[in-house]
Structure 1
């Protein structure tokens, strides 16, 4: 009996040590949905040369991610699609202030499958349905709404806007033809199979689209998270970002 208990105890300890070791090398990455494809390749490239590190990735609207982090969800590194939600977490003291920096830049476009001639903002009122990320939590939607307001189209487009939970869902609406077109990032539109870029939204209509990144207060204490954060600033990561249509400085 004692021998059996000893064997069971030893086995349990081995399992616990293995699990602890795995968690120690795990980096919890919370990033804007528009970064999904680029970051999947970036993390794969990192894992290829850092086999001791694994990733738990969470892609969603930046506002939703910020809310999750505020509620205590596991996150070591946060990459937002706008400055607003990073500033929010800074005020909550949930990110390491010294680690906040710009990761990449993007631009807003209007993409769809409609046969109607759409070459600029002033052509939008003749469309039926228009996809847009919810401005309350989706940066792409917030940028798009600012462009709509500055173009004086808010009233003309009332009732035409179909809200999406994130920019990828907005693109899906356009891909499936559920809307005539959607406001999405250029990087998302380049991945589309059916929808095509109908026009680039003039940059003067919305703030510069930048993606700030930062270690959370938890991630700043983890060696693996800090190493990956440092690697993200290097040439290999930036080359992959450019491949997916992002710009870096």
Structure 2
């Protein structure tokens, strides 16, 4: 077991309770998926608001649109957080943006690098993805709960060939050691602060980290691809794009920024 993970476990034991951090922290050496593990805890009524599960490695990490997320041991923050939303159901989309802002703030505080955010919730450094976020809803009767899955590449020195052109770690971008515990200690208060903000404030902060507006993008929806210009963010979290003189709001899609030659 690596030294950095020992530090996270020891810190979590010493301070990882609701009264000192606002979260109840569970650390796991290995798990299939932190989202699935936390979901089962919730089903078994063993998890409440603020339950945070962190693993040193995931063997079946989950990404958006049914993708898997590479989660090797000793290399990242792989975590899931259970929240009982304070926002009304029509504003729940804002939690995805709030998580992205919190990650960006924590990365900036830890490394002094300013990340960029790409719709809907990718976190980029050097135009490559360093963090993915996946929200899943679970419901008890009429009460909705949300599981926020976050995967941050921290110390990787390289990635598999299939990811090498699109993925990056904080350590690669920073060109200096980055400690997972320090990142976690910065991330927890950032999550608490942003999850307690209203949706308008969250979207304003998200846009301050976004550099994709005005850029040409490829919008992938099911079996179709649309080339368009990203022009803004709608109040309900949709991406506003312009195609052939018409403005369209996009919701469930994969968006890639077309780099200038």
Q: Do both proteins adopt the same fold according to a TM-score greater than 0.5, normalized to the shorter chain? A: no
Name the one with the larger strand percent.
Answer: 2
Q: Select the structure of larger CA radius of gyration.
A: 1
The structure, 1 or 2, with the larger RCO (C-alpha pairs under 8 Å, 6+ apart) is 1
TM-score band, normalised by the shorter chain? Answer: under 0.3
